[in-house]
Amino acid sequence: MCQHKALGGLALDSCSEVYLSAIDEERFGIRVARTTEVTLQILPSIIDFCKKNAVQLLIARCSVFELRVAQAMEREGFLLMDTLVYYSRDLTKKPVPKDVGKAEWRPMRRGEEEKIRTVAAESFRGYLGHYYADERLDRAKCDEVYTSWTLRLCNSVEPTDSVLVAELDGSIVAFGAMRVNNTAEGEMVLAGVTPSARGKGIYNSLFINGMKWCLSRELSRIVSSTQITNLASLKVWTRLGFELSHAYYTFHKWFD
């Protein structure tokens, strides 16, 4: 069995990194735990951890290749909430397409955090991620997940993090949060375009500028993730040369 330990106020499982999510608890008013890379071997330990720590909601992911794990989780009362797909592009194989969009892209400036938060609020209202798919969670609080996440990304002090913004007619209409994962890979962590600016090629330009951002840091690969139902984004990524890399099922389990 896995051994649990406390680290920085969060309960961690040394095998599966199951931990209490303070952010989710503050937002939804219930005790929430999270874990990734669930396997058959550690699933009993994860459930035991949740029971011992009075967890009310567990958010858990497993690889889509682990069907036996997914079936075991279903037998334990887990409900499937979404399928998260990761797409990547090798930046060394072919050049980045030319950006022919009309928006002006640049790094965000200090003091623009609230403007970017507003873009996120408009972009992700009613977005069908795993939170929104759970009928037991408050809809408004599900929307807040993305606005608060956006603010945390804007306020990051990590030197390898950056938020790109698009200006159109003097207003910020889109953003993309970038992160360096390792010496070879950059990631578009979160991105949004206001509904009024859609259909103008801005999302396409966003990922072109994200690729340029990676190349400026001598990275050879870019990755991004979204729900498998987000066909509009997946079509853009495919046209830009991204390929499916890996995917996860997201499950919720309520303990009551």
Average pLDDT over residues 122-136: 94
Q: Which two tokens stand for residue 224?
A: 């991004």
Q: Can you tell me the distance from the alpha carbon of 177 to that of 164, in angstroms, rounded to the nearest whole number?
A: 6
Q: What phi-psi label fits residue 8: left (phi over 0), alpha (psi between -120 and 50 degrees) or beta?
A: left
Contacts of the segment 1-8: beta carbons below 8 A, 24+ positions apart: 1/44, 1/45, 1/48, 2/42, 2/45, 2/49, 4/49, 4/52
User: Per residue in 43-101, pLDDT tens?
Assistant: 999 999 999 999 999 999 999 999 999 999 999 999 999 999 999 999 999 999 999 98
**pTM across the whole model:** 0.90
Q: What percent of the chain has pLDDT over 70?
A: 94
* pLDDT above 60: residue 185: yes
* Cα–Cα distance measured from residue 76 to residue 253, given in angstroms and rounded to the nearest whole number: 8
Split at pLDDT 50, 70, 90, the class of 256 is: confident
pLDDT of 17 reads: 83
Check pLDDT > 70 for residue 6.
no
- CATH 3.40.630.30 domain position(s) in the chain: 89-247
* Fold exhibited by the domain 89-247: Aminopeptidase (3.40.630)
